[in-house]
Amino acid sequence: MAQPVRVALLGCGTVGSAVVRLMHQQAEDLTARIGAPLELVGVAVRRPNRDRGDLGLDRSLFTADALSLAKRDDVDIVVEVVGGIEPARTWLTEALRAGKSVVTGNKALLAEDGGTIHDAAAEGGADLYYEAAVAGAIPLLRPLRESLHGDRITRVTGIVNGTTNFILSAMDASGMGFEEALEEATELGYAEPDPTADIEGFDAAAKAAILASLAFHTRVTAADVYREGITDVTATDMASAHTMGATIKLLCIATRTDGGGVAVRVHPAMIPKSHPLASVGDAFNAVFIEADAAGQLMFYGRGAGGAPSASAVLGDIVAVARNRIAGHRAASESSYAALPVRPMGEVSTRYHVSLDVADRAGVLATVANVFARQGVSIATVRQSGRDASAQLVIVTHTAPDAALRATVEDLRALDIVRSVASVLRVEGESSR
């Protein structure tokens, strides 16, 4: 039996404590799978004196000095489940440069400054694995970075934030509004006390950047991702989606663009109920990948939570431990394609626009004319009257997002348009 593979754990919160439990529960099998036992040689936390007796760890293992632990000579693998940009970036770059393998779930850091972390891994000849950073337990990054490397991925569409999916699923099922659904999500523990990162789409944008980087062999950062959250989605929007045989999901979408670039975005969108992502309910995640040869693939499962994320972390630990024993490292970051990231205005999308208009002759023609002026073609129009006003619901064909936005601005300026009640993008096939 080979010498133990020595692990330093940075962070022992929701994910870290689940990693410790799984390491204990699976110890024998992990040893057999790796060919050597895993040994936890230190745990860095913010409050080392806090009672964590339930984990069955010796108190002497705990420290508040993560950097010193990460650089210790008797550490082979650094597992970082603290989060945030600094000091995590310093810990990981120093550990990698010192040749230690790193396993992390830190999507924020990888999306903001993944280049620095990957460069440090290349410098130190060390492994960098981060399966838990996107979609928790779902094996997704390894398939992208290994299994699909012989193919050409054209599009990745995902539901990668459980909180917002829970909220939108509740709105879809019960007709409740956003605020009420958020309250329910908070009560049930699906939403943080400060839910901004989830409901404003920051968390999904970080994951979108990581997915796009892997799918298109191009460094994409969170700042490259167009982002809109779900706070403006109303019960009326959801009802309107139902009328179209659709629902509303917060999607992350990464595509190749016509001019040879990539575009990455996160925003709520209507998708037909027949689309595989429409049936992903509750706090589940799913990612739909389209590739030239493989066709369509869908990955589905629990995107967050201690145990599901620990499953992904342990999978990575086993992989890097095996690599260390075999004396090799996995292929480094693949960013050779270096495709340009195109702005949202150039992305082709479809809009669902709901207008409150004056109920008089010629309104429809005036509105249609605004669309025509911007070169946007209308797919369907629905009209319903209400006293002196009427509601017009227009779904467009595909057009550049900039033209669709300009159309909406022009509509707002019309006298006969009392308000633009809602604007949502439409994804998937149906334009009913």
Ligand X SMILES: NC(=O)c1ccc[n+]([C@@H]2O[C@H](COP(=O)([O-])OP(=O)(O)OC[C@H]3O[C@@H](n4cnc5c(N)ncnc54)[C@H](OP(=O)(O)O)[C@@H]3O)[C@@H](O)[C@H]2O)c1
By CB under 6 A, residue 14 contacts ligand X: yes
82 belongs to the binding site for ligand X (CB under 6 A): yes
Q: Which of residues 305-324 bind ligand X (CB under 6 A)?
A: 305, 309
Shortest gap between Cβ of 133 and ligand X (angstroms)? 6
- Residue closer to ligand X (CB basis): 15 or 168: 15
| Contact residue for ligand X among 5, 12, 222, 344 (CB under 6 A) | 12
Q: For the window 19-48, what string marks contact with ligand X as x by the rule CB under 6 A? A: -------------------------xxxx-
Residue among 248 and 313 whose Cβ is closer to ligand X = 313
Structure tokens at 416: 């006969």
Q: Is 107 an interacting residue with respect to ligand X (CB under 6 A)?
A: yes
Toward ligand X, which CB reaches closer, 46 or 373?
A: 46
- Helical ranges in 158-282 per DSSP H: 162-174, 178-187, 196-199, 202-216, 235-243
| Cβ proximity to ligand X, 140 vs 263, nearer residue | 140
CB closer to ligand X, 13 vs 260: 13
Q: How far is the CB of 248 from ligand X (least distance, A)?
A: 24
314-373 residues near ligand X, rule: CB under 6 A:
none
DSSP state of 4: P
CB of 192 to ligand X, least distance (A): 10
Phi, psi of 375 (to 5 degrees): 75, 25
Closest CA to 267 of 288, 250, 283, 284: 250
Taking CB under 6 A as the rule, which mask of x and - marks residues 118-157 in contact with ligand X? --------------x---x---------------------
Angstrom distance (rounded) from CA 32 to CA 40 = 17
> How many binding residues for ligand X (CB under 6 A)?
24
248 neighbors 172 (Cβ within 8 angstroms): yes
- Angle at which helix 162-174 crosses helix 235-243, to 10 degrees, equals 70
For 134-182, the DSSP string reads TTTTS--HHIIIIITTTS-EEEEEEE--HHHHHHHHHHHHH---HHHHH
Considering beta carbons, is residue 50 or 386 the nearer one to ligand X?
A: 50
> Which two tokens mark 310?
């620990």
Q: Which of 5, 30, 34, 66 binds ligand X (CB under 6 A)?
A: 66
User: Binding segment for ligand X among 70-78, 100-108, 316-324, 412-420 (CB under 6 A)?
Assistant: 100-108
The alpha carbon of residue 423 and the mean position of all alpha carbons in its chain are separated, in whole angstroms, by 23
The alpha carbons of the chain give a radius of gyration, in whole angstroms, of 24
User: What is the C-alpha separation between 272 and 241, in angstroms, rounded?
Assistant: 8
Q: How far is the CB of 355 from ligand X (least distance, A)?
A: 40
In sequence order, which ranges of 333-427 are alpha helices (DSSP H)?
Answer: 363-373, 401-412
Neighbour tally for 263: CB within 10 Å: 26
Q: Which is nearer to ligand X, 82 or 390 (CB)?
A: 82
Q: Which stretch binds ligand X (CB under 6 A): 33-41, 76-84, 239-247, 350-358?
A: 76-84
- Sort strands 101-104 and 246-256 into parallel, antiparallel or unpaired: unpaired
The amino acid sitting at 88 is A
Identify the CA nearest to 133 among candidates 124, 145, 123, 125: 145
Residue span binding ligand X (CB under 6 A) among the ranges 12-20, 150-158, 337-345, 349-357:
12-20
Active site residues: 207
Q: Name the residue number minimizing CB distance to ligand X.
A: 13
For residue 307, the minimal CB distance to ligand X (Å) is 9
Contact pick of 4, 83, 139, 177 for ligand X (by CB under 6 A): 83
Cβ closest to ligand X, residue 24 vs residue 47: 47
Q: E-assigned strands of 54-108?
A: 62-63, 77-80, 101-104
Least distance (Å) from ligand X to the CB of residue 106? 4
Residues that bind ligand X (CB under 6 A): 11-16, 44-47, 50, 66, 81-83, 87, 105-107, 132, 136, 304-305, 309
